[in-house]
Structure 1
Amino acid sequence: MSTANLATSAGLVHDELVPSRYALQVGDLDVLVISDGVLPIPAETLATNAGAADLAAWLKEMFLPPDLIDWPLNVAVVRSGERTILIDSGLGLEFPDFPRAGRLALRLEAAGIDPESVTDVVLTHLHMDHVGGLLSDALRGRMRQDLRIHLATAEADFWAAPDFSRTAMPAPVPEVLRSVASRFLDVYRHQLRPFEREYEVAPGVVVSRTGGHTPGHSIVRLESSGDRLTFAGDAVFQVGADQPDWHNGFEHDPEEAARVRVRLLRELAATGESLVATHLPFPSVCKVAVAGDAFRFVPTVWDY
């Protein structure tokens, strides 16, 4: 039996056989984590300051392929009162050769979310896999005219003349990143609502600049009725629990990014709040626990 037949074998119609959205509550806030798909990324970008043998051992221990891994892309939609807030927008069509990514528009539709209902967008940073969705025809022409886009001032300033000297990205990526960020700022400049350090987008939704990954990289804190969740963007990667000091090739300031990561993971372990991050396996909702000098990601049991 094919998977297509399996999906409808009981007379039920599913938009997708494999789940690509996960809903949860953070107090009175409605949160929907959505998978934008996966990107193939060279495994070596996970640990540019680690020995090849150490990285190979970690990949083997995690049952991951040694050369090319699938990098998850997660975004989130948050409803706070009358506000509907999109956190990041995925890849869009910036890399057409990656057909398993750039799925946000389809998955918003499958979830019954009209793009015009989105009142605010929070961008953790301007890398193409976080802003590309807003440049795609499927979303760009369907967003409301008074859409507010919240972005750290330092991030917008950085992409006027970006510095890639401390990154270790695959060869074509820096120029594409530069081009996408420039186009994004041109298209949406008049809708930007820049902030310096921290800004409350809506009740219980606060965006805070961390720096590190990029100068204006930010995280989003959700808090309501005693519940808390942090959307960490690219402050945390899958390897970041076991090896928080390993540098990612996409980090523009690797040392500061590692300090941000350790500080954030320590805080989340102490508070017990939930974590969602862009590149953790979907839906990525987990807790953080201390494990000696490192950490553990403890998956949250899905709530049906």
Structure 2
Amino acid sequence: MNSLDNTLILNNVGTNELVPSRYAVQVGEIEVLVISDGVLPLPTAMLGHNADPAIRAAWMEDMFLPPDAFDWALNVVVVRSGEQTILIDAGLGSDPDLQLPRAGQTVKRLQSAGIDLRSVTDVVLTHMHMDHIGGLLVEGVKDQLRPDLRIHVAAAEVKFWESPDFSLTSMPSGFPDALRSTATRFIKEYGSYLRPFEDEYEVAPGVVARRTGGHTPGHVVVRVASGGEGLTFAGDAVFTVGFEHPDWHNGFEHDPEEAARVRVGLLREVAATSELLVATHLPFPSVGRVAVDGDVFRWVPVFWDY
């Protein structure tokens, strides 16, 4: 599997960016571009709130991560298949009440990558948490989108946000209210653009969205396949700790037990095919493969192709 011309893409970083923020991969005839929306500083307990604190702290130390809080990566993906340009998730946007100034970079970085918002024909939402839909709520963005834009989302996800259940989550103060209000606003502003599907939908040739549930009832993953090659964007089904500890519950999971089952099943599936995996909160550029290591898994990041 060959990557696109990352020499051009990575050297064309905006003047205000200290590091590369996009990474291109070619999957057969389909172009995939991973874009960093920034980072979210969150408590480390969010990675496994059902884990023994001492074991969780030991894992953080082994990973050379700070003990109390660290920066979660936040990635979105652009896919070009035939005549369609598909944005998978849209990043955080802006929420000043939560003090997350280092995320919400998607729109700016799309522009920096030479991707006109008017060229986006489809959006796929892995789910409707605010760090996946907020970019479309940034002032002025909707005016730049095509009037015939199609936003694909699982019907179960839209239904869930009519009356969301946070009883099994473990989030910092303020997040449930922010998530609820952002989803409500999104449905109000983009309801006419939504194209809900049940379990599986082919968005474009070789680009299939599949509902997994777990993280949220309508959470989906997106598989890109062409020319015998494949890549899966896992959304929030997989977090960094989920390879070694797939049974740990992430604080944002609305059904943690089901999320763990989904995670194990997805990781086994990707490991069996040796196809590429990308996920929202794996460290940028979040492109790698999965190996099975006994009863757990091992993340094998690709070597950067310049």
TM over 0.5: yes
SS at match of 2:298: strand
Give distance in 1, aligned partners of 2:165 and 2:214: 13
TM-aligned CA deviation for residue 14 of structure 1: 4.3
TM-aligned CA deviation for residue 77 of structure 1: 0.3
**TM-score between the two structures when normalised by the length of structure 1:** 0.95
Indicate the residue corresponding to 1:69 in structure 2. Answer: 70
State how 1:154-169 maps to structure 2 within 5 Å.
154-169=156-171
Give the partner amino acid of 1:47.
G
Indicate the residue corresponding to 1:90 in structure 2. Answer: 91
Moved more, 97-106 or 274-283: 97-106
Give distance in 1, aligned partners of 2:233 and 2:166: 25
TM-aligned CA deviation for residue 139 of structure 1: 2.1
Give CA-to-partner distance per residue, 1:105-150, whole Å, 9 cap, x none.
1100100000010000000000000000000015222111110000
In the alignment, is the contact (CA less than 8 A) between 1:213 and 1:234 conserved in 2? yes
Give distance in 1, aligned partners of 2:220 and 2:163: 19
- Residue among 103, 106, 117 paired with 2:105: 103
In the alignment, is the contact (CA less than 8 A) between 2:13 and 2:21 conserved in 1? no
Indicate the residue corresponding to 1:268 in structure 2. Answer: 270
TM-aligned CA deviation for residue 302 of structure 1: 1.6
TM-aligned CA deviation for residue 285 of structure 1: 0.1
Unmatched 5+ residue regions in structure 1? 1-11
In the alignment, is the contact (CA less than 8 A) between 1:105 and 1:138 conserved in 2? no
Q: Any runs of at least 4 consecutive aligned residues in structure 1 with deviations exceeding 3 A, and if so which? A: none
Give CA-to-partner distance per residue, 1:261-291, whole Å, 9 cap, x none.
0000011111000000000000100000001
Alignment of 1:230 onto 2:232: yes
Give distance in 2, aligned partners of 1:24 and 1:248: 29
Give the partner amino acid of 1:25.
Q
**Cα gap change, 1:143/1:55 in structure 2, threshold over 3 Å: closer, same or farther?**
same
Q: CA RMSD in A?
A: 1.1
- Residue among 188, 192, 197 paired with 2:194: 192
SS at match of 1:137: coil
Give CA-to-partner distance per residue, 1:161-211, whole Å, 9 cap, x none.
000000000111001000000000000001100000000000000000000
Give distance in 2, aligned partners of 1:66 and 1:141: 43
Give distance in 2, aligned partners of 1:147 and 1:303: 33
- Residue among 211, 214, 224 paired with 2:213: 211
Indicate the residue corresponding to 1:202 in structure 2. Answer: 204
**Cα gap change, 1:236/1:14 in structure 2, threshold over 3 Å: closer, same or farther?**
closer
State how 1:1-304 maps to structure 2 within 5 Å.
14-15=13-14, 16-95=17-96, 97-304=99-306
Give CA-to-partner distance per residue, 1:224-278, whole Å, 9 cap, x none.
0000000000000000001000000100000000000000001111100000000
Give the partner amino acid of 2:269.
E
SS at match of 1:17: coil
Moved more, 251-260 or 131-140: 131-140
**TM-score between the two structures when normalised by the length of structure 2:** 0.94
**How many pairs were matched up?**
293
Give the partner amino acid of 1:65.
P
